Amino acid sequence: MNLDMITPIIASLSLGGLIGTILQSFLLKRNRVFEDEFKHRAKRYKAIMILMWASLNPKRELKHLRVFREDITNIETLKRELKLELYNMALYGGDNVIRSLKKFIKKINHENYSRVALEMRKDLYGKKTNITFDDIKIDL
């Protein structure tokens, strides 16, 4: 091989390596963004689940909630907080999660609570599920 043949080969390899590095960097950044988004959604969904649980039986659960959220002192502030979470969820929540949370806020009951939980599960993990309200219903 002479120098005229080697130069284009080296240039091609260098360019290919550069493109590969740029592509790898882009994919790593994209994965990091998705991971951060997932962690945020999971954290918010857990907080909302706790608020919803407290709203199912505020007489018993509000005192436990106040340990972590001193600002929530009664059922009205709890409902206001749930509404705020619904509006904030427009930034990160799945469509069906938002719809089911709205139904829960309008009619607070165990069945709607379970529906929100199942929609959150689908949104976070993308798994189809056959679990229904009756599968997780427990008389309290």
Please check whether residue 52 is in contact with residue 82, taking contact to mean a CB–CB distance below 8 angstroms: yes
Interatomic CA distance for residues 139 and 126, integer angstroms = 29
Radius of gyration over every alpha carbon of the chain, rounded to an integer in angstroms:
24
| Domain range list for the chain | 36-136
Taking the alpha carbons at both ends of the chain, their separation in whole angstroms is: 83
Q: What is the pLDDT of residues 51-95, one digit of tens each?
A: 999 999 999 898 888 888 889 999 999 999 999 999 999 999 999
| Residues sharing a CB contact under 8 Å with residue 93, sequence separation 6 or more, in sequence order | 41, 44, 101, 123
Report if pTM > 0.85. Answer: no
Q: What is the pLDDT of residues 98-127, one digit of tens each?
A: 999 999 999 999 999 999 999 999 999 987
